[in-house]
């Protein structure tokens, strides 16, 4: 009995010592992980939503400008001379030149109702706001960061200005007359075409954006 009691005491002591060391090791490991990663997590911009002061509002508009830092237009809404083969002589939106990869932001709250290749508009994202206005972002990057039915907040980054040339797009009939390379819809260079539709009637985006 005495030997068994001693063996049990030794076992109990060793077991307690093991559990104690394991417990403290776990605490130390957890503290190290928290110290290393909490600052990284805290600084991450998961929603990609700038604050109100980071957005550009022209005039008395409640709609944010879709490309902060780029406000020059290369083509206005309305009649024009078609800039390239396949482009319309009545421009159904406005064109804002910007480098490939430039962030595009949601002009208002809404829901994504379309992503895909849309003929002359090339790769397109359509944001529909809660008044039913459809806002199409055309000639965007084919690498989509939003999806159909996603709820969007004003100022959220929803895409990027796309490349001039795109390859492997089924049914794409648009190309650069000089090089013959397939283009991102009817385009002569990197830019955003943004169009506003109310009940499928195109309206001048500047009536809302400024």
Q: Residue 11: which domain range?
A: 1-44
Sorting pLDDT into bands at 50, 70 and 90, what band is 192? Answer: very high
| 132: CATH | 2.70.70.10
Do residue 112 and residue 190 come from a single domain? yes
Q: What is the average per-residue pLDDT within 40-61?
A: 55
Q: Bridge-partner residues for 96, per DSSP?
A: 192
Q: Write out the two tokens for 40.
A: 């990284």
Whole-number Cα distances in Å, 56 to 44, 110, 163, 209: 23, 18, 24, 10
Do residue 116 and residue 132 come from a single domain? yes
Do residue 23 and residue 64 come from a single domain? no
What phi, psi does 148 have (nearest 5°)? Answer: -60, 135
Do residue 27 and residue 70 come from a single domain? no
Do residue 147 and residue 182 come from a single domain? yes
Using a 10 angstrom Cβ sphere, with 0-12 exposed, 13-18 middle and 19 or more buried, the burial of residue 23 is: exposed
The number of residues making up the chain comes to 210
Task: Name the pTM for this structure.
Answer: 0.73
pLDDT at residue number 64: 95
pLDDT at residue number 8: 47
Count of domains forming the chain? 2
Do residue 144 and residue 200 come from a single domain? yes
Taking 60 as the threshold, does the pLDDT of residue 207 lie above it?
Answer: yes
pLDDT at residue number 132: 94
CA 201 to CA 210: how far, in whole Å? 20
Q: What is the average per-residue pLDDT within 139-153?
A: 98
Q: Write out the two tokens for 135.
A: 């806002």
Nearest to residue 191, comparing CAs of 27, 67, 28? 67
The distance of Cα 172 from the centroid of its chain, to the nearest Å, equals 24
Do residue 6 and residue 24 come from a single domain? yes
Do residue 87 and residue 6 come from a single domain? no
- Per-residue pLDDT of 84-139, as tens digits, reads 767 777 778 999 999 999 999 999 999 999 999 999 999 999 999 999 999 999 99
Q: Are strands 123-128 and 157-160 parallel, antiparallel or unpaired?
A: unpaired
Do residue 20 and residue 84 come from a single domain? no
Do residue 130 and residue 172 come from a single domain? yes
pLDDT at residue number 46: 37
Do residue 99 and residue 198 come from a single domain? yes
Q: Which of 40-44, 62-66, 149-153, 163-167 has the lowest mean pLDDT?
A: 40-44
The DSSP string of 170-193 is TT---B-TTT--BBSSS-SSSEEE
Do residue 33 and residue 66 come from a single domain? no
């Amino acid at each position: 009995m005495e030997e068994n009691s001693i063996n049990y005491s030794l076992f109990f002591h060793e077991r307690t010592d093991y559990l104690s060391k394991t417990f403290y090791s776990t605490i130390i490991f957890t503290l190290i992980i928290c110290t290393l990663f909490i600052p990284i997590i805290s600084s991450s911009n998961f929603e990609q939503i700038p604050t109100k002061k980071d957005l550009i509002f022209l005039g008395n508009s409640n709609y944010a400008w879709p490309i902060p830092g780029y406000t020059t237009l290369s083509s206005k809404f309305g009649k024009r001379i078609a800039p390239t083969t396949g482009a319309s002589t009545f421009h159904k939106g406005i064109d804002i030149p910007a480098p490939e990869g430039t962030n595009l932001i949601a002009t208002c709250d809404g829901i994504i109702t379309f992503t895909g290749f849309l003929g002359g508009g090339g790769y397109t994202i359509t944001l529909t706001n809660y008044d039913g206005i459809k806002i199409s972002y055309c000639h965007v990057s084919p690498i989509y960061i939003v999806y159909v039915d996603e709820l969007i907040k004003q100022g959220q980054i929803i895409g990027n200005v796309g490349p001039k040339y795109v390859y492997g797009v089924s049914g794409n009939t648009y190309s650069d007359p000089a090089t013959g390379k397939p283009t991102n819809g009817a385009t002569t260079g990197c830019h955003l075409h943004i169009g506003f539709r109310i009940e499928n009637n195109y309206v001048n985006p500047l009536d809302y954006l400024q």
